Structure 1
């Protein structure tokens, strides 16, 4: 555990010191609270990521912890709110940064106004992950009475996309129409939610589709190699490791988009604690580092194999988070509620896994 979490411990120390140097001892408490917020909201993210990360070799796991964490901290926790303000307020990035540092109240207001777009994009991306999981016929079932009929329905082609589009349409014509926003009409808000939600759906289909495509290609290459073929791709002379590299790259890309979708609620929720983007980046960055380290720890310990229902619980938590994001377009939902729902699903699936293991041993 110490080996896996050593970078998280180091980042914690550096982040807390940086917070004190930036804004005194008060910042120490704010950074710590933000880190706890990020971990509590993203534990299910770690479980989902572990299910994907275990397909990658040690090199790409290190990339996930190094390059990936830079993207997570600086890209999503620092630059993302600035980009959102820059786009929605039609400001240049330097102007958005200047606004964030000099007029924090106005900056927070602009980020809040952009929440419907963020929630629609992230909600649709996460909803697709949940739907593709529950509509697939799996050998291991946690909630059999629910999962068996859903697996039978999943035989219908593109059902997950149809359901997601239906949910988006209902969201745009109900929650978006009645949501409050500074400026703009109801029609504009509904259109914004529709466009953002479709963008989230398309992003999922592209990234997930490319990842699945290269995984299948890699499996075909490995099957061909076992049948007596050499490691070069037939007809091209390219080594099989290059194909594996592409498969790993798109899986890594999928992980990054997944992490971005999970981070939306954390970034928005952080404004309830502070509107200082530097403290937000420090606190949420520390939390993101623990989530990433926990992901690697789950992979190396084989936790998902030992506790067979954990992935199920995490995906149900994802489904709940997706719906919460969409509902939050109109209604404000406390982050404590969001975090507790995720913890409840994970805890229930863990308890079921323990009981399953005991029964198997008996």
Structure 2
């Protein structure tokens, strides 16, 4: 069916384009019944699902701004009566709905959050160093101003894959002690830019990995992801589909290994575990990772690192996964 779906307008009035929406709708076709959009944002995936045949979509988002923005359109045709908003996290999605025909998870930070300086996600716009998706809990400023050097370095290295993590952490502690605590995004971005000047024009901003890592830590994004995948398995009916869009290599690794575990029947074994209990697969993987095509990259450069994975639920009982085998740093696995 593949209906034309207009971009979603956000508070800055710029269009926000849902990443990999068309391949997601294509891989999940035919779309029908009850779906859950675990990262509702500006509503782009929900609009696409309804346009393609979904009868009801549960729109879950921890950001109160997403709920406020949606009031201008969710009660208008063709969406009236087809969307139920839930203020919460997708890690608890099976508390909000069950027997679902599909679950969509769009990981990471939304365009509307990046584009609003006051939210503190972007190193390109000056604003308070916040980064909280839910607008409560520890801020990014509180983290960089109170965590010790070792903890900051570990977060930057493990969550942002930042090779200069120790150098940056040392400079953060030195500046907050000798100059002033960090309060704004450009204050932190400027420090990193001085430490790691770009060697070539066109290279990504040197603060990219640091901001990503701190955002992941502040919002417990990996913990949310693992629990969300397990919750999706519990909430989906047999034949229901799980579609996950990730933007970070570690996120994609977690999704890939989760689906590998739950699509496996066990067996094999090793010298440490020569006999493995056979398990009925909980998912059938429908495709390998799908990235953006050239047309999408022209329309939406932010899609360049995005990867889509889609799987179909079987009728097997839902099981917890072995988190130690999901490719996360040990500190993340042991803290959950």
- The TM-score normalised by the length of structure 2 is 0.26
Highest CA radius of gyration, 1 or 2? Answer: 1
- The TM-score normalised by the length of structure 1 is 0.25
- Select the structure with the greater relative contact order (CA < 8 A; seq sep ≥ 6): 1
Structure with more of its chain in strand, by fraction? 2
